[in-house]
Amino acid sequence: MGAASGALPPPGVEAVLDALAADPPDAEEISHALTVFAWERAAETRDLTCVMAEVDELWATLEDAGGVPLRAPAARHRLVDAWVDAVAAERGSPGIDPLSGLHTAGYLYGRVQELDRLSGTEPTALVLIVIRWAGASGPWLRIARILQAASALRSRVRPDATLSQVGTTMALALVPDDARARVERISLTKAVENGELSTAHVQVDVFAVPDTRARLPELVTRLRGGANVDHAVGLPSYRHSGTGSLD
**pLDDT of 97-115, one tens digit each?**
878 889 888 889 888 988 8
Does residue 85 share a domain with residue 161? no
Where a domain ends, among 66, 90, 114? 90
In a domain, 180, yes or no: yes
Where a domain ends, among 55, 90, 125? 90
Does residue 137 share a domain with residue 52? no
In a domain, 95, yes or no: no
pLDDT-flagged residues of the chain (< 70): 1-10, 46, 87-94, 195-196, 227-247
**In sequence order, what are the residues at sequence separation of 6 or more whose Cβ sits closer than 8 angstroms to the Cβ of residue 83?**
38, 39, 41, 42, 48, 51
In a domain, 22, yes or no: yes
Torsional sign, CA 185, 133, 159, 228: positive
Does residue 188 share a domain with residue 132? yes
Do residues 42 and 80 touch, judged by C-beta distance below 8 A?
A: no
Does residue 192 share a domain with residue 134? yes
Q: By percentage, how much of the chain surpasses pLDDT 90?
A: 28
In a domain, 246, yes or no: no
Does residue 65 share a domain with residue 130? no
User: Number of structural domains, the chain?
Assistant: 2
Does residue 109 share a domain with residue 85? no
So what's the pLDDT on residue 94? Answer: 61
So what's the pLDDT on residue 30? Answer: 92
So what's the pLDDT on residue 229? Answer: 53
Do residues 114 and 15 touch, judged by C-beta distance below 8 A?
A: no
So what's the pLDDT on residue 232? Answer: 33
Where a domain ends, among 41, 60, 90? 90
Does residue 141 share a domain with residue 85? no
In a domain, 127, yes or no: yes
So what's the pLDDT on residue 9? Answer: 56
**In sequence order, what are the residues at sequence separation of 6 or more whose Cβ sits closer than 8 angstroms to the Cβ of residue 121?**
none
So what's the pLDDT on residue 220? Answer: 92
Taking the alpha carbons at both ends of the chain, their separation in whole angstroms is 39
In a domain, 97, yes or no: no
Do residues 13 and 79 touch, judged by C-beta distance below 8 A?
A: no
Cis bond before residue 24 (omega within 30° of 0): yes
Residues recorded for the chain? 247
What whole-number distance in Å separates Cα of residue 127 and Cα of residue 203? 16
131: which strand partners? 171, 204
Does residue 18 share a domain with residue 121? no
**In sequence order, what are the residues at sequence separation of 6 or more whose Cβ sits closer than 8 angstroms to the Cβ of residue 106?**
95
So what's the pLDDT on residue 129? Answer: 97
So what's the pLDDT on residue 161? Answer: 94
Does residue 48 share a domain with residue 23? yes
Rounded CA Rg of the chain: 21
Does residue 123 share a domain with residue 41? no
Does residue 67 share a domain with residue 129? no
- Classify residue 23 as exposed, middle or buried by CB count within 10 Å of its CB (0-12, 13-18, 19+): exposed
Does residue 156 share a domain with residue 199? yes
Q: How far is CA 27 from CA 14, 72, 78, 218, in A?
A: 16, 11, 11, 48
Rounded to two decimals, what is the model's pTM?
A: 0.60
In a domain, 230, yes or no: no
For residue 44, the enclosing domain spans 11-90
CATH number of the structural domain spanning residue 196 = 3.30.70.270
In a domain, 231, yes or no: no
